[in-house]
Structure 1
Amino acid sequence: MTDRKLAQAAWESLFRAQHELFAEFHSDFDGADITQAEYDVLLTVTRSPDQTTRLRDITLNMLISQPSVSRLIDRMVARDFIIKRADPDDGRGALITATDAGVRAFRAVATVHGRSIAERMATLDDEELRELLALTEKLRRG
């Protein structure tokens, strides 16, 4: 059986590390054309085949509620970062495609953000990074 105090201490440390890193990386978006939330959407979309993905897949990857994702998507459509259209395979679903403007805005921040992440994570060696990845994936699987 898991030591309850140890589990709570590990959770608190993981939570605080994530929170502190997230706050630290926030400056990567200062003066950028996109917000962190828009970056997260475009990260999912640009990694998908033909830079198109289902809205439900974006919602699964986001750390905000479905209504908040819907409002964010609508704002991004208005800003010409993405195109939203009906999903022909799912009458209630939508397909989201990155526009050229969205891809440019994403790439401009991705370079800076990727560098910041690599520099900060360099505190860990490759073996520790692999272990961290394995542990966080295990936690996510339950």
Structure 2
Amino acid sequence: MTAATPLVPPTTTADALGRSRTVLANEAWEAALTAHAVLMRRFAEEDVWHGLSMREYDVLYTLSKCERPQRIGELGRHVLLSQPALSRLVDRLVDRRLLTRCADPADARAAHISLTTAGRALQREVGLAHGAAVAQAMTTVLTDEELDLLRTLSLKLAQE
């Protein structure tokens, strides 16, 4: 006589831990996305943008951190927009004289993008006000130790 095969395999400790870790990972991801959405809505409502959209400011901010002009592809690695959408946004900022486009000396088909003097000044003005709003939102609810842990964990997750 043989033992009957159970219809449902018994749950091992490893299976239970794996499922719990999967659930925990998904809950952590959902919490991070929810926090991001809540904060982004709050920041969008701030009266600090001086006619810029948050995406336009993101491009100005990204370029302000660069030591040299950037190609659209390089810029796109740091801005969460598709290449066509980023190109249109850059065109609008060039039209507003906040960015300048110059030929890439190494490749005549490509262009370098950089901040104009006006673009850099506007980025600094908006950045100071936005930075203060970010600091207020974060320091109101998190301790210095929690801020440090959040920074460390976020950088760890962002590693490619």
> How high is the TM-score relative to the length of structure 1?
0.89
Question: Displacement, 1:129?
Answer: 1.5
Whether the aligned pair in 2 keeps the contact of 1:54 and 1:95 (CA below 8 Å) is yes
Q: Which runs of 5+ in 2 are unaligned?
A: 1-17
Gaps of 5+ in 1: none
Q: Partner amino acid for 1:87? A: D
From the two aligned structures, give the one with the greater helix fraction: 1
Q: CA shift at 1:11, angstroms?
A: 0.7
Q: Does 113-122 or 96-105 show the bigger shift?
A: 96-105
Question: Aligned-pair distance for 1:10?
Answer: 0.6
Aligned pairs, how many?
A: 141
Residues 45-100 of structure 1 deviation map (CA, whole Å, 9 limit, x = unaligned): 112225x3332221111111111000000111111000012222344432111112
Percent of paired sites with the same residue? 36
| 1:1-142 matches, cutoff 5 A | 1=18, 3-28=21-46, 32-49=50-67, 52-122=69-139, 123-141=141-159
Q: Distance in 2 between matches of 1:71 and 1:129?
A: 35
Amino acid at match of 2:31: S
RCO comparison, higher one (Cα < 8 Å, 6+): 1
Q: Alpha-carbon deviations, 1:24-47, whole Å to 9, x = none?
A: 000235661322111111111112
Give the root-mean-square deviation of aligned CA atoms. Answer: 1.9
Larger radius of gyration: 2
